[in-house]
C-alpha cells in the first residue's frame, strides 16, 4: 500500500470515529471524542457482524462490532479496518456471538419471502 493510500485510509477511519464518537462513548463506557482517542484490541469483542444486502451478497467481520446511526452502520473491526455502510441496501444485519448458548442479535431482520 502506498503512502497516499495509507494516508487516505487513516483519514477515512478517523472520520468514522469522529462521526460515531457519541455512540462509541456509550458502547465503550468511556469518553470518546473521535479526534484524538483510539480504539485498542481490548475494545473488540469476539463477536461476528454479518450483513446481507438486497442482491444476496454478504459481508462477515470477525472481532468486530456495529454502531447504528440514522442512515449508516459503522462496522469497526480489530484487523480489517472501519467501514461505514449505507443502511438502505441492507436486508439483514446481525451480531453472532461465539457462545452458542447466546442467540444472535438482529439489528435488522430479513423479511420472510
Res. 91: pLDDT tops 80? yes
Q: How far is CA 89 from CA 50, 57, 82, in A?
A: 14, 11, 18
User: pTM to 2 decimals?
Assistant: 0.86
Instruction: Kindly report the three-state secondary structure assignment for every residue of 85-109.
Output: EEHHHEEEEEEEECCCCCCCEEEEC
Rounded to the nearest 5 percent, the helix, strand and coil shares of the chain are: 25, 35, 35
pLDDT score of 103: 92
Q: What is the pLDDT of residue 37?
A: 75
What is the topology classification, in CATH, of domain 3-108?
Answer: SH3 type barrels. (2.30.30)
What's the pLDDT score for residue 34?
72
Amino acid at each position: 500500500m502506498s503512502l497516499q493510500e495509507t494516508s487516505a485510509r487513516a483519514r477515512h477511519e478517523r472520520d468514522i470515529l469522529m462521526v460515531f464518537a457519541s455512540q462509541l462513548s456509550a458502547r465503550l463506557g468511556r469518553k470518546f471524542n473521535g479526534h484524538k482517542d483510539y480504539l485498542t484490541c481490548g475494545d473488540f469483542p469476539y463477536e461476528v457482524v454479518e450483513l446481507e444486502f438486497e442482491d444476496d451478497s454478504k459481508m462477515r467481520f470477525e472481532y468486530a462490532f456495529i454502531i447504528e446511526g440514522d442512515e449508516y452502520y459503522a462496522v469497526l473491526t480489530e484487523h480489517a479496518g472501519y467501514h461505514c455502510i449505507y443502511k438502505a441496501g441492507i436486508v439483514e444485519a446481525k451480531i453472532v456471538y461465539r457462545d452458542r448458548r447466546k442467540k444472535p442479535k438482529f439489528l435488522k431482520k430479513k423479511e420472510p419471502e
